[in-house]
Structure 1
Amino acid sequence: MPRTDRASRVIAAPAESVYAALVDASALEMWLPPSGMAGRVLELDPRPGGAFRMVLTYADPAGVRGKSSEDSDVVDARFVEIAPGSRVSYAVRFLSEDPGFAGSMTMTWDLTTVDGGTRVDITATDVPDGITPEDHATGMSSSLDNLARFVERG
């Protein structure tokens, strides 16, 4: 059954700074991996139809199972929409033999200027069944916290 997950946070930085962190490979490696993971961007072409590939590696793989290997998740994505300063959307596929992670999930990052900074809303549609709602909520919240620390330090 298709599922939609959401998360949001206000970040004390202008939308342009937040947007820049969403489309820069070095920035993504710093903030996108949730707590307990490290990221490496292999490809990034931030334009509609462009590609995005990242390897996420667990710092301590004990007790967890990666989607692509014992200790990692490989994410292939295609940019669907790019609106500088306001929206980034990409369709994500996990490289996995597990049918629980099959299909394409769309991640949309909407940026809205508010008092005190930028409200960042993440909407994930068609979330694979293998990603539990609790784990996804924790991961998205962790990424938003990392993003805030990254852009607020300026």
Structure 2
Amino acid sequence: MSNTIQLHRVFSAPPERVYKAFLDPNALVKWMAPHGFTAQVQHLDACVGGTYKMSFTNFSTGTCHSFGGTYQELIPNQRIRYTDQFDDPNLQGEIEMLIELKAVMVGTEVTITQSGIPAVIPTEACYLGWQESLQLLALLVNPNIPDQ
């Protein structure tokens, strides 16, 4: 049995900047790991059929969880669909990720659907982690810093 969560946020950034933040390895390590974790991207090939591998490490305990997947659909500045699968045998199953971006008057509306979450992971923990990550994403993408 698995779980599904859905999140919705509006960022003041344009869709191009938000889209890039989901596919740029340097951006991902800055925002994706929830509070108390660090992130590392081992590889990322952002094309349909391309794969990625990354890990989150608990800063307090040093425990590391690695995961990876395959990009299934990439529509620039509109949609990202990919899979996630943990390397930990206790977290079996394939997670489906769908990120939908929509240009709105004030920036970008983002809807994230994560389905197939292993039942051993509480949905509340997923929501908490994503809320923290999306706060960090806002800090990265919302500022419009001109070139010097």
Give the TM-score taking structure 1 as reference length: 0.89
Q: Report the Cα offset of residue 113 of structure 1.
A: 1.2
Q: Report the Cα offset of residue 59 of structure 1.
A: 1.2
**Are 1:82 and 2:74 counterparts?**
yes
Indicate the residue corresponding to 1:8 in structure 2.
8
Answer yes or no: is the 8 Å Cα contact 2:78–2:102 preserved in 1.
Answer: yes
Indicate the residue corresponding to 2:84 in structure 1.
92
Alignment of 1:54-93 (within 5 A): 54-61=54-61, 71-93=63-85
Amino acid at match of 1:143: S
Which of these residues, 110, 117, 130, is aligned with residue 107 of structure 2? Answer: 117
Deviating above 4 A after TM superposition, structure 1's stretches of 4 or more consecutive aligned residues are none
Which segments of 5 or more consecutive residues in structure 2 lack a partner in the other structure?
A: none
Indicate the residue corresponding to 1:130 in structure 2.
120
Q: Report the Cα offset of residue 10 of structure 1.
A: 0.6
Other structure's SS at 2:3 match: coil
Q: Report the Cα offset of residue 111 of structure 1.
A: 0.6
Q: Report the Cα offset of residue 153 of structure 1.
A: 2.4
C-alpha deviations, 1:74-95, integer Å up to 9, x for none? 0111111111001111100001
Other structure's SS at 1:39 match: strand
Other structure's SS at 1:43 match: strand
Task: State the alpha-carbon separation in 2 of the partners of residues 142 and 8 from structure 1.
Answer: 13
**Are 1:143 and 2:136 counterparts?**
no
Q: Report the Cα offset of residue 36 of structure 1.
A: 1.1
Matched length: 144
**C-alpha RMSD of the superposition:** 1.1
Which segments of 5 or more consecutive residues in structure 1 lack a partner in the other structure?
A: 62-69
Task: State the alpha-carbon separation in 2 of the partners of residues 130 and 145 from structure 1.
Answer: 25
Task: State the alpha-carbon separation in 1 of the partners of residues 14 and 118 from structure 2.
Answer: 32
